[in-house]
Amino acid sequence: MPAAPRIITTIITTTMTDPRHLVRLLAWMSPAFPTGGFAYSHGLEWAIEAGDITDAGTLSTWLHDVLRHGAGWTDSVLLRHAHRSAASPETLRDLTALAIAVAPARERRDEALNQGRAFALAASPWTTDAPPADAPYPVVVGALTGSQRIPEDDSVIAYLQVLATNLISAAVRLIPLGQTDGLRVLAGLEPTILALAAGSRSATLDDIGGCAFRSDIAAMRHETQYTRLFRS
């Protein structure tokens, strides 16, 4: 008799986020959450005036570099370590000092600190945990999501998504760019966001660093830009 055919069964498992965690993450990482993100362009304003960004294609390339080689990578690593150290005030102070030290420009430092303070204040109705004092945005987000036991990977992905969304919103107003083109850029950044989140999972603090030099120069040049709509 012929051998019986083998039946191969594939079992796919997923981790379901606690509904309370999901609700909080959706609220905290919404572009409408009052962190003041709408007031910052992360140097985009100067890059657009200089002609580096002129349309959806050049915006997509710029944001890809910012995410993979600039603030996106650095913030992902800082957020993860703050998440894991949510119960250690001393470690969070060290992370705060490191995050401030690696800011490449005054406006970048102020952007991170001001959004961190605003985020901590706005999130206070959900938690009694004291956030790090005067900490940059990724450190505060990591500390609060960690203390609330919101999954680390979800927190990083949501953070990167809102970072990209806020910058696209700034570009829509500055280029100007249509909303549909802006959404196409956001959709196109999805693989970059997911890959960056996965790549930062095992990163140490020694892995912090970037090479988005043009973005850093844009942040510095924005400080003396003659006409400005944004604070960075």
- The structure's pTM equals 0.91
Half-sphere exposure of 204 (CA within 13 A, CB side): 1
* Predicted pLDDT of residue 18: 83
CA distance 212 to 74: 11
CA distance 53 to 113: 26
pLDDT in single tens digits along all 232 residues of the chain: 445 444 333 333 335 468 889 999 999 999 889 999 989 999 999 999 999 999 999 999 999 999 999 999 999 999 999 999 999 999 999 999 999 999 999 999 999 999 999 999 999 999 887 777 799 999 999 999 999 999 999 999 999 999 999 999 999 999 999 999 999 999 999 999 999 999 999 999 999 988 999 999 999 999 999 888 999 9
Note the CATH number of domain 39-221. 1.10.4190.10
CB 114 within 8 A of CB 158: no
The alpha helices in 31-189, defined as continuous H runs, are 44-49, 56-69, 71-84, 89-101, 106-123, 137-147, 152-174, 179-188
Task: Give the residue extent of every domain in the chain.
Answer: 39-221
